[in-house]
């Protein structure tokens, strides 16, 4: 049985956070849509706690039609109003409109031959970074990725949000040295299907 003392400090004392930590956080994610979903959820977290978003994640997925960028990109003002009226999610017009705009930016990237996942993983050399120092809130690389995304039309993708997302999707392994998940997650590096922007 895994005890709280064996987990990263942020995941201790709450069953939902512990389950997320033990099953998902830091596991390398290569799927374009899933990567986009997690970035959008991190954007909704801005100014709030991850626990708040985690508790609402199922409702977010329902309201944003499974975070399918092709469908979200077609949302109109009526959809924005519908979402603003739904108490199950974080009702921020700016974040809702950013998510819709980010779906369109995601599609634009694909049309230009820049598949989202392939380009993001290229930024870390197609291999997760194993962090061996203090856990930062942002890094030069997260600032570079943030800048790149903003240039492509994304919003709510500041360097701190991007770094939290990089941790969540396994682009960087920030499990603490004492954490039971650090070694298993590190062992996953390179065992998924690495994306290539040149894939057919």
Q: Tell whether 175 is in a known binding site.
A: yes
Longest dimension (CA), the chain: 49
Distance of CA 195 to the CA centre of its chain: 17
pTM of the shown model: 0.93
Q: Looking at domain 32-187, which CATH architecture does it have?
A: Orthogonal Bundle (1.10)
Domain ranges of the chain: 32-187
Residue 1 has pLDDT above 80, yes or no: no
Using alpha carbons, list the distances in angstroms from residue 198 to 110, 119, 134, 169.
11, 10, 35, 22
Q: List, for residues 97-122, the tens digit of each pLDDT value.
A: 999 999 999 999 999 999 999 999 99
Q: What is the structure's pLDDT at 117?
A: 94
Distance of CA 73 to the CA centre of its chain: 18
Using alpha carbons, list the distances in angstroms from residue 19 to 14, 88, 106, 129, 136.
9, 21, 30, 23, 23
The Cα 15–Cα 24 span in angstroms is 14
Q: List, for residues 147-162, the tens digit of each pLDDT value.
A: 999 999 999 999 999 9
Q: Tell whether 21 is in a known binding site.
A: yes
């Amino acid at each position: 049985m895994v005890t709280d003392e064996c987990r990263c400090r942020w995941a201790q004392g709450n069953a939902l956070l512990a389950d997320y930590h033990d099953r998902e956080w830091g596991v390398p994610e290569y799927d374009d849509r899933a990567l986009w979903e997690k970035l959008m959820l991190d954007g909704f977290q801005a100014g709030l706690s991850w626990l708040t978003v985690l508790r609402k994640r199922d409702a977010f997925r329902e309201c944003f039609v499974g975070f399918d960028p092709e469908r979200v990109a077609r949302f109109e003002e009526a959809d924005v109003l519908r979402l603003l009226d739904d108490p199950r999610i974080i009702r921020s017009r700016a974040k809702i409109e950013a998510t819709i705009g980010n779906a369109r930016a995601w599609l634009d990237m694909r049309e230009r031959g820049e598949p989202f996942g392939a380009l993001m993983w290229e930024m870390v050399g197609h291999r997760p970074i194993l962090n061996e120092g203090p856990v930062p809130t942002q890094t030069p690389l997260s600032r570079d990725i943030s800048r790149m995304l903003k240039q492509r039309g994304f919003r709510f993708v500041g360097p701190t949000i991007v770094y939290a997302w990089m941790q969540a999707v396994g682009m960087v392994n920030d499990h603490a040295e004492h954490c039971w998940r650090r070694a298993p997650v590190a062992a996953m590096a390179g065992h998924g299907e690495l994306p290539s922007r040149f894939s057919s």
